């Protein structure tokens, strides 16, 4: 399994980094891409980091990827949503029935693109306005090819839901046991 996380200036630290960490613990390959012209990206709390690759190195053929993750953060979501290349990439994933994941404010991007019309979803309060969809307000929602989470508080649950969708309950439970500081029996 392999996926990518898009990072825009203003991305929410925990949503991106915790999700990445938990997925890696499951043996899932995760590549971070900066939507900037270089690898450098700044988080919502001023952490400057280098993404694995700049956006222009995303292959035009996305068949080798299984999922796409959009972390939230108000400014990060705004920067993702205003980038035409991001919309084009999301459309490719959607058209190929690949897994689309988003947390906090970021599910609004899928919603405004019209992809959540008949989908149950959740997001940060107030970011469920201006588009169609079945807003639940739950912590994490898995419906069709979408996984959404309400806020950074649920980053671990979000990542575990992605693991379960991709690799099954046993893989999710194994990672969860390790996260809880236990040894698998």
Q: At residue 184, does pLDDT exceed 80?
A: no
pLDDT in tens, 72-97: 999 999 999 999 999 999 999 999 99
The arithmetic mean of pLDDT across residues 38-50, rounded, is: 97
Dihedral angle at the C-alpha atoms of 6, 10, 18, 47, nearest 10 degrees? 120
CB 77 within 8 A of CB 6: no
* Euclidean distance between CA atoms 36 and 51, whole angstroms: 10
30 burial type by CB count under 10 A (0-12 exposed, 13-18 middle, 19+ buried): buried
62 burial type by CB count under 10 A (0-12 exposed, 13-18 middle, 19+ buried): middle
pLDDT value at residue 116 = 98
Predicted TM-score of the model (pTM): 0.97
Domains of the chain: 2-179 (3.40.50.880)
The arithmetic mean of pLDDT across residues 167-184, rounded, is: 93
Q: At residue 185, does pLDDT exceed 90?
A: no
Is there a catalytic annotation at residue 123? no
Which is it for strands 146-149 and 140-143: parallel, antiparallel or unpaired?
A: antiparallel
- Considering the candidates 104, 116, 156, 166, report the single residue annotated as catalytic: 104
Q: At residue 103, does pLDDT exceed 70?
A: yes
pLDDT value at residue 182 = 87
The arithmetic mean of pLDDT across residues 129-158, rounded, is: 98
The arithmetic mean of pLDDT across residues 145-170, rounded, is: 98
Q: At residue 172, does pLDDT exceed 90?
A: yes
* Euclidean distance between CA atoms 103 and 126, whole angstroms: 13
């Amino acid at each position: 399994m392999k996926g990518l996380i898009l990072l825009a200036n203003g991305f929410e630290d925990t949503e991106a980094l915790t999700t990445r960490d938990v997925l890696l613990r499951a043996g899932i390959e995760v590549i971070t891409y900066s939507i900037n012209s270089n690898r450098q990206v700044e988080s919502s709390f001023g952490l400057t980091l280098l993404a694995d690759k700049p956006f222009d190195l995303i292959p035009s053929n996305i068949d080798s990827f299984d999922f796409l993750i959009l972390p939230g953060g108000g400014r990060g979501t705004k920067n993702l949503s205003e980038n035409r290349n991001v919309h084009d990439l999301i459309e490719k994933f959607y058209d190929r029935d690949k897994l689309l994941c988003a947390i906090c404010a970021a599910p609004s991007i899928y919603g405004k693109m019209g992809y959540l019309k008949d989908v149950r979803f959740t997001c940060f309060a107030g970011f469920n306005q201006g588009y169609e969809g079945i807003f639940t307000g739950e912590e994490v929602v898995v419906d069709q090819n979408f996984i959404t989470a309400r806020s950074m508080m649920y980053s671990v649950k979000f990542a575990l839901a992605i693991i379960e969708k991709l690799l099954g309950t046993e893989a999710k439970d194994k990672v969860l046991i390790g996260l809880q500081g236990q040894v698998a029996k």
